[in-house]
């Protein structure tokens, strides 16, 4: 089996590639090594992978000859994109449309012409729901993004589904709920909290810290991606991947304090534009379609991320 992983140098992409390589699967990876965060981190993510059966193509999905790359590929796991809710305003939006919408359309066009492809998996986001109208939020809840980022993820998801409907491409989009664990992006909350605790620097809380997130451990996300490429037959077009941890940022900070054994110094800033007050997904659909449920709870997952960060 040969799998194309886009965004392979990133947090979720590199973790996914490791799981596939460990299963003896041939992996082709694409990444442009964007400078959204330190590219050295991305180089290290790639260098740490078992290199046998791995091919990494450095380039932009918008420019690469994707039809050629897809020859002989059985499944695509499309994780390349411009992440980050709070930075998606102003002139940054160009990067979001280019990397989340245009790049996805180009990949889907190429995938449409492939004779070998059995599954196309798109990494969508809980941000498509915005301030959700019900909890736990199920897939048929009104999508009403609250950030420009969410708009581009919803566009990518719609594109993915319409290639399925028009051309029979065997797609599935997973809406990931705030993912954490080893190799988490440095701009995300837990990375920042552990980093600040270690340096003895103040931790910035956006808003009152009472916003709730359904944090999801990265290995649980990867298990669902692997299950989707293993599965035969049709899958629902869109499924939530939510970890079941309905906790506030302040509760997380309590856990961080316990995990690190350090007294935290908190400073508060106004809530960030685009930041929703609550996410909480229903994982009922993915449980019935793939038998998936999250295995790692927030305490265990935080400890694992801390241990990993300590060892770097």
At closest approach, how far in Å is the CB of 178 from ligand NAD? 5
Give catalytic status of residue 37 as yes or no.
no
HSE (side-chain half, CA atoms, 13 Å) at 133: 7
Distance CA 60, CA 10 (A): 14
Which residues have a Cβ under 8 Å from the Cβ of 129 and sit 6 or more positions away? 137, 141, 142, 143, 144, 145, 150, 175, 276, 279
Q: Which does 18 bind (CB under 5 to 8 A by kind): ligand NAD, ligand UGA, none?
A: none
The DSSP code for 127 is G
Q: In what order do the strands lie in the sheet with 245-248?
A: 179-180, 212-217, 245-248
Two tokens, residue 97: 């449309």
Length of the chain: 312
Instruction: Pick out residues in 36-95 that bind ligand NAD (CB under 6 A).
Output: 36, 42, 60-62, 79-83
At closest approach, how far in Å is the CB of 39 from ligand NAD? 8
**127 lies in the binding site for ligand UGA (CB under 6 A):** yes
**Catalytic pick among 96, 149, 180, 217:** 149
At closest approach, how far in Å is the CB of 232 from ligand NAD? 25
Look-up: residue for tokens 């359904």? 214
Instruction: Pick out residues in 187-246 that bind ligand UGA (CB under 6 A).
Output: 188-189, 192, 204-206, 211, 213
**97 lies in the binding site for ligand NAD (CB under 6 A):** no
Which of residues 11 and 120 has its CB atom nearest to ligand UGA in the complex? Answer: 11
Return the beta strands (E) in 103-225 as ranges.
119-125, 171-176, 179-180, 203-206, 212-217
Burial of 128: CB neighbours in 10 Å, binned 0-12, 13-18, 19+: buried
**154 lies in the binding site for ligand NAD (CB under 6 A):** no
Which of residues 148 and 170 has its CB atom nearest to ligand UGA in the complex? Answer: 148
Site size with ligand UGA, rule: CB under 6 A? 20
**33 lies in the binding site for ligand NAD (CB under 6 A):** yes
Which of the stretches 15-23, 71-79, 133-141, 173-181 binds ligand UGA when contact is defined by CB under 6 A?
A: 173-181
Binding site for ligand NAD (CB under 6 A): 6-7, 9-13, 30-34, 36, 42, 60-62, 79-83, 99, 103, 123, 125, 153, 176, 178-179, 185
């Amino acid at each position: 089996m040969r799998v194309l992983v886009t965004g392979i140098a990133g947090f979720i992409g590199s973790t996914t590639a490791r799981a596939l390589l460990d299963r003896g699967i041939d992996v082709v990876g694409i990444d442009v090594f964007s400078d959204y965060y330190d590219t050295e981190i991305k180089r290290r993510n790639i260098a740490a992978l078992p290199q046998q059966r791995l091919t990494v193509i450095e380039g932009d999905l918008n420019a690469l000859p994707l039809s050629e790359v897809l020859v002989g590929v059985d499944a695509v796991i499309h994780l390349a994109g411009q992440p980050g809710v709070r930075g998606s305003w102003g002139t940054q939006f160009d990067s979001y449309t280019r990397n989340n919408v245009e790049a996805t359309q180009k990949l889907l066009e190429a995938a449409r012409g492939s004779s070998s492809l059995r599954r196309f998996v798109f990494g969508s986001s809980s941000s498509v729901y915005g301030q959700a109208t019900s909890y736990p939020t199920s897939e048929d809840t009104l999508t009403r993004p609250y950030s420009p980022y969410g708009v581009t993820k919803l566009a990518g998801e719609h594109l993915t589904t319409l290639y399925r409907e028009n051309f029979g491409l065997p797609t599935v989009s997973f809406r990931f709920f705030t993912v954490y664990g080893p190799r988490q992006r440095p701009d995300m909350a837990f990375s920042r909290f552990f980093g600040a605790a270690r340096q003895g620097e103040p931790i910035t809380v956006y808003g009152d810290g009472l916003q709730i997130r359904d944090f999801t451990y990265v290995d649980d996300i990867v298990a669902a991606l692997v299950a989707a490429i293993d599965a035969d037959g049709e899958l629902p077009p869109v499924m939530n991947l939510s970890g079941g941890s309905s906790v506030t940022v302040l509760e997380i900070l309590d856990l961080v304090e316990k995990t690190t054994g350090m007294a935290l110094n908190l400073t508060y800033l106004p809530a960030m534009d685009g930041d929703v007050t609550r996410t909480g997904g229903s994982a009922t659909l993915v449980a019935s379609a793939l038998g998936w449920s999250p295995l790692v709870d927030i305490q265990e997952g935080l400890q694992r991320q801390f241990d990993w960060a300590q060892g770097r």
